[in-house]
Structure 1
Amino acid sequence: MRTRPVIGVTLDAEEPGGYSKLPWYALRKNYFSAIAAAGGLPVALPHDADLAEAYLDEIDGLVITGGAFDVDPALYGDGDTHPTVTLKAGRTDFELAVTRGALKRDMPVLGICGGQQLLAVALGGTLIQHIPDTVANALEHEQPNPRTEPGHPVAIAPDTLLARVVGTDRMAVNSAHHQAVATPGTGAVVNALAPDGVVEGVESASHRFALGVQWHPEYAVDPADPLIFQAFVQACRHG
């Protein structure tokens, strides 16, 4: 019997240069260490959409990570692509396939930063392509200070999974995004807002645990951040 639930973690991908002369995968260590500290056994998932169901057969929960790229606007019905949008088609194809598969199985899903945006799209939601062009008087969501420090607060919506998990109505969060969720999707709700009204979290009301946060709780800049991983891993123990 497994003592730790196996948590599939999606990777980022880069083109040749820097680490290798060939294409390579990458992910910050603190994603893995935060999952391990919460009691999970993190394993990396390479990008092969054809293997999504095979991976899901082997894991107990899914973490969709962030990265310096965007979900293709065509996937949520937005015909015009903003000049700031950067795509990683192979990664997005895999992440959509494995996320939709996990949701269909009611497997716990945790989306972080861009992973939260992808979760919203998988649930049928839409995105704001570039916050500065859409939200008047927006905060600096690409915060100038280090990611190990908070960039702004968020208000946690009452009577949500996130509120039950963190036990507070306000958190300090780090911020590293130029896009945001516009609409959360069918059966999904917004669970956190920045002071400028930008969506900072979504969750599905029709799944056991399908939670997305726009910030990076793996940095633990707020005392409640580790509680997100603990609640996720706990949900993965009860499949």
Structure 2
Amino acid sequence: MCEPVKVIGTRFSAFSHRAEVALRLKGVPYELIAEDLDNKSELLLRSNPVHGGKVPVLLHGDRTAVCESLVIVEYVDEAFDGPPILPSDPAGRAAARFWAGFLGVNHCWRLLWLALWAADGDARAGFREEARARLALLEAQLEGKRFFAGDGIGYVDVAASGLAYWLGAMEEVAGVSIMDAADFPALCRWAKEYTSSDVVKGCLPDWDELVAGYAASTDKFKLVAQHAAIYQ
């Protein structure tokens, strides 16, 4: 009998989405344990004590909990049968991991966050241009390809999924345009293709609920941006 698979997370988190979509790409049934991040459960705190109960966490049978979204994606790719998420050759895997790292919280997403929520208008404009320069590098990676992985969704597409859906909701709330179709046609086309996939649609949050949640959290977002700017 197959061991049960559970994801502790929230449908509103782009990082939880990475874990869910990896499982769906592999065709693995799983249970989403919805977490209230303002009132974290004992299960979450016990399962991810190192990072203060951050989501997602993958629980696979009686094995040790797997934390960190991209670590989970790689675990899912190795632990379950199904279409590969990472490229099969070492060079391809190295390149995929490089671009996933480029998209990480301390690189591309830090600039995007500051471009959206930094308090100082001039600084915010500067961060926007820096973020757009990073997006231009990603735009070039899509030349002649449907997805970053080629014809199907792969590791970099999963890593970049926050750009495909969550960024647009943040732009709407912040009143800031960063990834526009005029300057980033390939990225915007990719975002539509990604979010239109039947595999992906099943683990996307409702758009209106996502926007409303972000609108209610703008003060928190601005505080995070203030701290991020200090260490920029």
Greater per-residue strand proportion = 1
State TM-score, norm by structure 1: 0.26
Greater per-residue helix proportion = 2
Q: Which has the larger radius of gyration?
A: 2
